[in-house]
Structure 1
Amino acid sequence: MQLIGHVGKILRYPVKSLGGESVSSARVMYYGMYGDRSHTILDESRQGKYLTITQFQEMVKYKARFIGEESADRYPAVEIITPDGKVFVWEDEEWRKELESKSKRRLSYKQYSPAHVPIGAIEEEPLLVVSDASLKSLSEMTGKQLIDEQRFRPNILLDLIDKTPFLEEEWVTKHLTIGEVEIQVDRFCERCMIITVDPQTGERDANVHKQVIRHRKNNFGVYASVIKTGSIHIGDEVWIKEKV
């Protein structure tokens, strides 16, 4: 095995398409990061579809985080922070009515339990991994000082020893060990318009997506599946090995 870096940030998004939270440690389940996309907002005007940043980009200005003790049986309470700083719990009707009014859509709400989250937590794959070197390189391509990593909604931001940009694209089929956890890098992450939306302001910058298309064939970051569950922490060593 080869030491390739450390865990720089751990991120999860308790509510699909709302802003997420950065945590010091987290449990990695077979479906992905504990609690990631465990709560969703459904767009009743499109049967069976979720309301996402694609339909209503201002969603990203609403932030979600867990409060309270985590358990294997049920998720802690979810706290919602609105763009104007008001704080509600997930079940509160006030922020829901506000979101429904602003999005001009009839909405409903669904949450899963830790034992019954779809693989990939309503996403395409369980985990999304991005490196600091790749983020820095893309920031330079777009002429920005440093793009907020939450624009790309990764679960793990790696602090690499070798700062070669897009090195993670060479890891497909390989295994990474992170703390107690082992994952397999499965494929590139193909990007959509969501990365054009600033996670703090909700404003769009099409140049970000244009640069990813032009320089990276519309790929940024890699998807991974979980081979061995466990806990990871900020600063954990990340080792790579060939697929076994």
Structure 2
Amino acid sequence: MLIGSMKEIVRHPVKSFYGESVQKTKIMEYGLYGDRSHAYLDETSKGNFFTITQFPEMVRYKARFIGEESIEKYPKVEVMTPGGEIVDWDDEELIHELEKKSNRKISTKKYLPSHVPICPIAEEPIQLVTDASLEGLEEIWKGQVDSRRFRPNLLIALKDKVPFIEETWFGRRIKIGRDVEIQLKRHCKRCMIITVNPENAERDPSLHKTVISERNNNMGVYASVIKTGEIHVGDEVHLL
């Protein structure tokens, strides 16, 4: 059954940095190619991941892949800082800037293109939301909702605009384009990250309070990969 089309595809080459909107990408067994493949570790906190939770301004650093993508080697990861500088993700001055601003000691972590462990994001590797659900949340919250607050990988434009209908599809598969199939698994429980404005890193706790009180803290769904392949913006999306 045709349910809509792929409106936006977003991957995060560096965990907790501003996501990269792409026209096409490969869906690997672990999710989108290179998604959360590069990360910073907080050495002041037993080497846990350094994220927006510790340092909200991370959302203002924009990371993207530059060059040819392959299974053998990642392309260069380029970062634009809030000040407009373009540097490599592991540039010493960038790391020093992050350490100084956050008052933490930071190290780097990189995974292989063929395997990014699911643990950096969740039990399932892909998160999706629909345009209808974002519009439904805007009605509840009484304000404009930026999808980037929720850091989804896939934004689906539904043919029939029924808010939160994807939450009724758990256990079912959706097909994207010619080859890719994913299975919807469970709700995405939300944390303080959605309070952070992706443009200026300012926090507004009212959105999270609304999601907690009106949606049982659920927004978006997680999915696992059934069939790998390539997807494109504009691809048809079918519920199987």
State if a TM-score over 0.5 links the two structures: yes
Q: Please say if residues 213 and 219 of structure 1, whose CA atoms lie closer than 8 Å, have aligned partners that are also in contact.
A: yes
Aligned residue number for residue 51 of structure 2: 52
Unaligned runs of 5+ in 1: none
Aligned residue number for residue 226 of structure 1: 225
Q: TM-score, normalised by structure 2?
A: 0.97
Number of residue pairs the alignment of both structures matches: 239
State the AA in 1 paired with 2:154. Answer: I
Distance 1:15 1:152 in 2: 16
Establish whether residue 155 from structure 1 lines up as the match of residue 140 from structure 2.
no
Query: Aligned-pair distance for 1:144?
Result: 1.9
Establish whether residue 70 from structure 1 lines up as the match of residue 72 from structure 2.
no
Q: Percent identity?
A: 58
State the AA in 2 paired with 1:10. Answer: I
Q: Please say if residues 14 and 78 of structure 1, whose CA atoms lie closer than 8 Å, have aligned partners that are also in contact.
A: yes
Q: Please say if residues 36 and 121 of structure 1, whose CA atoms lie closer than 8 Å, have aligned partners that are also in contact.
A: no
Establish whether residue 3 from structure 1 lines up as the match of residue 2 from structure 2.
yes
Q: Please say if residues 10 and 153 of structure 2, whose CA atoms lie closer than 8 Å, have aligned partners that are also in contact.
A: yes
Query: Aligned-pair distance for 1:48?
Result: 3.1
Unaligned runs of 5+ in 2: none
Distance 2:3 2:169 in 1: 11
SS in 1 for 2:9: strand
Aligned residue number for residue 43 of structure 1: 42
2:171 to 169, 173, 176: 173
Q: Please say if residues 171 and 185 of structure 1, whose CA atoms lie closer than 8 Å, have aligned partners that are also in contact.
A: yes
- What CA deviation, in whole Å up to 9, does each residue of 1:25-55 have, x standing for no partner? 0100010100100000000011131111111
Q: TM-score, normalised by structure 1?
A: 0.95
Distance 1:172 1:16 in 2: 26
Distance 1:119 1:217 in 2: 25
Aligned residue number for residue 215 of structure 2: 216
Aligned residue number for residue 21 of structure 1: 20
Query: Aligned-pair distance for 1:120?
Result: 5.5
SS in 2 for 1:129: strand
Distance 1:87 1:144 in 2: 33
SS in 2 for 1:45: helix
Distance 1:32 1:177 in 2: 14
Distance 1:226 1:154 in 2: 15
Query: Aligned-pair distance for 1:96?
Result: 1.0
CA RMSD, aligned part only? 1.1
SS in 1 for 2:44: coil
Distance 1:83 1:128 in 2: 26
SS in 2 for 1:97: helix
Aligned residue number for residue 83 of structure 2: 84
Establish whether residue 128 from structure 1 lines up as the match of residue 104 from structure 2.
no
Establish whether residue 190 from structure 1 lines up as the match of residue 192 from structure 2.
no
Distance 1:56 1:155 in 2: 22
Q: Please say if residues 30 and 115 of structure 2, whose CA atoms lie closer than 8 Å, have aligned partners that are also in contact.
A: no
State the AA in 1 paired with 2:93. Answer: E
Query: Aligned-pair distance for 1:141?
Result: 2.1
Aligned residue number for residue 205 of structure 1: 204
